[in-house]
Structure 1
């Protein structure tokens, strides 16, 4: 049963893939929530109080209790609202999903971010590392529709940066990281993922995201 909007609050930042993970999970679960956009240069008292350790978004507040860190929030959402499970029942498969979600956060996403935003001196090495991490993901997706099989799960949501943000950012920076020639299976997955009606509704508009990061890229030159 979906939660009442008054019980669930999300503190986030719209261009953030980490905030967006929570949006996607809540939408997949059919959970009603109130969203509050944070100005990270002038953080709200509620954010500082709700996440005093990291002082970052996203923060989910459920019945007055805050939960921080996007992967932790995703598991909380999955355990609290049972419809459309994000994690499989099988203990081994659950452990495997957690492993790949952490791999994305600890290895793959930082490498991609470095490749996109590094200066010319360090870019070649950063791109090489990003490509190596994408190859590992390509081998993991195999011929599955989604990382967990036939339905969107934890790993797909964790990989949304790869499936949506990377295409926009590589276009802005003139890079070729995720291409159909290099990674046909990952590109096919990204198309399946972003065309899912709930995901499509929950992702930030492409033109707005492009404009936001293009302005950042221009300002950094």
Structure 2
């Protein structure tokens, strides 16, 4: 993995993660935006290392960023930490807006993505029956239309370049097409969601993401197995 950037010897950075986690990649994209060099440590969450349990004893999850020997956990917290710790780094400016109101609004959209948008998308993918799946799909589209209106004609949710909201939504740009292929149903179309559809392609080719994506074919196999397991339960 190409980590790029330069840092002082006393600024050693490590990132504990797992290859399939969208939360881990959100942090990777933030580090890439700031040009921060780091050492990536792959964790097996079925057999968690002593290092992970020691560095994140509260949640015992990835990602964990270790900076100067001190751990920072939870992806949203880590991204804001990166933006503050390396505020003058990276050619793309700050990840969070400078203006307090705009910063608050960006955080509110991150919460929307996590608490309002993600649940119906996941339900659409894992629902066992056609009627339940269709209901979840319609609920997901309704929330995606909210995003469509917010994005409008902007290149990114932050404006001309990637920002906090883009990083938080970024995994959808590759996850939704995988879900669509596996389920055989579309949820984001150019006809219904033209701005969001264009944004998905734009984000995947943006500097933070284009060389920092999970192995998509491997991820597809993982999601297919997960869906089959849910269908058997249903």
Q: Provide the TM-score with structure 2 as the length reference.
A: 0.88
Match of 1:76 among 74, 81, 105: 81
CA RMSD of aligned residues (A): 1.8
Q: Is contact 1:9-1:61 (8 Å) kept?
A: yes
What displacement does 1:212 show?
A: 2.7
Aligned residue in 2 for 1:185? 195
Note if contact 2:14-2:39 (Cα within 8 Å) is conserved in structure 1.
yes
1:42 matched to 2:44? The reply is no
Give the greater-gyration-radius structure (CA). 2
> Runs of 5+ in structure 2 lacking a partner?
none
Q: Note the C-alpha offset of 1:162.
A: 1.9
* Count of residue correspondences: 221
Are the equivalent residues in 2 in contact too, given 1:38–1:44 (CA < 8 A)?
A: yes
Counting only pairs closer than 5 Å after superposition, residues 1-221 of structure 1 correspond to structure 2 as 2-3=6-7, 7-82=12-87, 83=89, 84=92, 85-120=94-129, 122-220=132-230, 221=232
DSSP-derived class of the 1:163 partner = helix
* Larger mean Cα displacement after TM superposition, 115-124 or 102-111: 115-124
**Residue 4 of structure 1, CA deviation:** 5.1
- Once the two structures are superposed, what CA deviation does each residue of 1:147-182 show, in whole Å capped at 9, x if it has no partner? 010010010000012222111122112121122122
Distance 1:173 1:155 in 2: 27
From the two aligned structures, give the one with the greater helix fraction.
1
**C-alpha separation in 1, matches of 2:183 and 2:55:** 35
Q: Is the Cα–Cα contact under 8 Å of residues 4 and 33 in structure 1 kept in the other structure?
A: no
What displacement does 1:195 show? 1.1
Contact kept in structure 2, 1:141 and 1:186, CA below 8 Å = yes
Partners in 2 of 1:183 and 1:79 — Cα distance? 34
User: CA contact under 8 A between 1:111 and 1:130: conserved in structure 2?
Assistant: yes
Q: Distance in 2 between matches of 1:125 and 1:49?
A: 42
Are the counterparts in 2 of residues 24 and 203 from structure 1 also a CA contact under 8 Å? no
Tell me the secondary structure at the aligned position of residue 171 of structure 2: helix
Mapped to 2, the partners of 1:12 and 1:4 lie a distance apart of: 23
SS for the counterpart of 1:152 is: coil
Secondary structure of the 1:179 match is coil
